[in-house]
Amino acid sequence: MKIITTLWENGAAVTTEEEKSFQTKESGTEESIVNLYPQVHFQKIIGFGGAFTESTGYVLSKMPKEKAKEIIDGYFGPHGLRYSIGRTHIDSCDFSLGNYSAVPEETDIETAVFDLSRDETYILPVVASAREAAGKDIPLLMAPWSPPSYMKTNGQKNGGGKLRPECRAQWAEYLSRYIEEYQKRGFPVFSVSVQNEPKATQKWDSCVYTVQEESEFAWEYLAPALQRHGLTVPIMLWDHNKERLFERAEEILSDKRSSEVDSVIGFHWYSGDHFEAVDLVHKQYPDKTLVFSEGCVEYSKFGSDSQLKNAQMYAHDMIGNLNAGMNAFVDWNLVLDSKGGPNHTGNLCDAPVMCNLENESYETKLSYQYIGHFSRYIDCGAERIGMTRFTDRLEVSAFQNPDGSLAAVVLNRGKEDIQFHLRLNLRVCPVLSKAGSISTIIME
């Protein structure tokens, strides 16, 4: 058994490995046990990944080629975080250099020429590099932040507004064509979102949908358009915060037309834990794939200097969501500059890798190491297994990989060390969880 532990000491991440063995003697361990039950299986894990935004591509394009390659290899390579999926935006988002649309003027979308020069300059080269590093395709979740301005009630991409009702068929065709253009270029798409954050009116690219509007657009317009194009791409619903996840899923999926369409459910973390909401959706709709589709440390709410707190935010949310039924995790920007951008409206954020473009250096944040405690050791196709723990001071999630090996992630956000006994198949092993640490325990 191998135990990989990461601590934050003197402003740096320190990772250690330790070999231990199970013992047969169980007596005296009753009050400090973490049980693993590989005979009990839950959801299957699709994978882990991050977002290929225009900002990410722009920053990497300004770095020396060898360092840009190091960063992508560190995310997608077999010796890195082993990311296997990604997310990208349809047209511009806040983490773009500015507003843009593939078809900027009103015309017949069926015959329009799609201008993907922005994607081809900053996004698709990074996806191609990720594919090369991983040695396999990186399926993409594609999400729109806003239709083109001429389809909006407010006449602009920013500031919310709505999709004009008479433009619904045109917008569905637009989304389908965008996916088609990506797949023509050899980039597979595993899901398309109806709308990123459909309840939020933002100063950047945004568009608001009521539940009725989202349901009607998904089933009456987008699904038929995808079918006409021969695209077997599941539609992502909600793609917003967890506090309304259950009710939104329940209302949209109550539409009888939803049973005829393959769909997944996306959620973000910006309104708090709400792990129970994920669990409710998982139990009510066990056939639906649940995807954490975005999360980041916003500088408007959190500081960039609290690396331990920020990294623990990631691990806490990942464990809570995984234990509630999450199938896939997709972080927000893979890479940003040292200011937390570029962002065309000043919505600056943290990322696991930050680049200083002035001296052409980069920093991997502690959050990068914490995410790796999941993505490095939980394989695509792994299944979450049964677990019990003696205290809520330890946060634990456990998995069985396709090769039969087990991986348990243990998070200690407290200020005290915790001694516990890992128990598996009537054997125990003493383990010390150090204060402020994260550990992954590998059992082959």
Only one residue has tokens 């205290």, namely 391
**Are the CB atoms for 297 and 313 separated by under 8 Å?**
yes
Model pLDDT for residues 362-387, shown as the tens digit of each residue: 999 999 999 999 999 999 999 999 99
* Mean pLDDT to the nearest integer, 309-331: 98
Per-residue burial over 151-172, b if 16 or more Cβ lie within 10 Å, else e, is bbebeebbbbbbbbeebbbbbb
| Residue/partner pairs of 390-399 with CB below 8 Å, 24 or more apart | 390/31, 390/32, 390/33, 390/34, 390/420, 391/418, 393/418, 394/34, 394/418, 394/420, 394/433, 395/315, 395/316, 395/319, 395/320, 396/34, 396/319, 397/318, 397/319, 397/322, 397/323, 398/36, 399/45
Average pLDDT value for the chain? 97
pLDDT over 80 at 25, yes or no = no
Cis peptide before 342 (omega within 30 of 0): yes
Dihedral, CA atoms, 148, 153, 156, 158, nearest 10 degrees? -100
Alpha-carbon dihedral sign for residues 100, 106, 109, 113? negative
220-265 pLDDT per residue, tens: 999 999 999 999 999 999 999 999 999 999 999 999 999 999 999 9
Give the C-alpha separation, 154 to 168, whole Å.
15
Q: Does 13 have pLDDT greater than 80?
A: yes
> Taking a C-beta distance cutoff of 8 angstroms, is the pair 162, 209 a contact?
yes
36 has which bridge partners?
A: 387, 424
Distance CA 420, CA 390 (A): 9
Asked if residue 24 has pLDDT above 80, the reply is: no
Domain ranges for the chain: 2-42+385-443, 47-377
Q: Which amino acid is at 81?
A: L
Cα(412)–Cα(438) distance, rounded to whole angstroms?
A: 6
Architecture of 2-42+385-443 per CATH? Sandwich (2.60)
Q: How far does the chain reach from its first CA to its final CA, in angstroms?
A: 7
Confidence category of residue 304, pLDDT binned at 50, 70, 90: confident
Contacts of 65 (CB under 8 A, 6+ apart): none
Does 11 have pLDDT greater than 90? Answer: yes
Amino acid in the structure at residue 67:
K
User: What average pLDDT does range 288-304 have in this prediction?
Assistant: 94
The pLDDT, as a whole number, for residue 436 is 98
Say whether pLDDT at 136 is over 90: yes
- The CA angle 431-433-438, to the nearest 5 degrees, is 120
pLDDT value of position 212: 97
Instruction: State residue 116's pLDDT score.
Output: 98
Residue position matching structure tokens 């190091």: 70
What pLDDT does residue 27 have? 75
Q: Is 339 helix (H, G, I), strand (E, B) or coil?
A: coil
Domains 2-42+385-443 and 47-377 share a fold: no
Q: Which fold has domain 47-377?
A: TIM Barrel (3.20.20)
What does the pLDDT read at residue 285? Answer: 98
Q: Crossing angle for the helix pair 275-284 and 307-324, nearest 10 degrees? A: 20
Packing angle, helices 65-76 and 124-134, rounded to 10: 60
Q: E-assigned strands of 155-220? A: 189-193
pLDDT at 321 over 80: yes
- Digit-coded pLDDT (tens) for 408-417: 999 999 999 9
Measured from the Cβ of residue 96, the count of other Cβ atoms closer than 10 Å reads 25
- In degrees, rounded to 5, the angle at the alpha carbon of residue 99 between the alpha carbons of residues 96 and 103 is 115
Q: pLDDT value at position 28? A: 81
C-alpha–C-alpha distance, residues 235 and 266, integer Å? 10
Average pLDDT estimate for 141-152:
98
- Determine the pLDDT at residue 374: 99
The pLDDT confidence band at residue 389, using thresholds 50, 70 and 90, is: very high
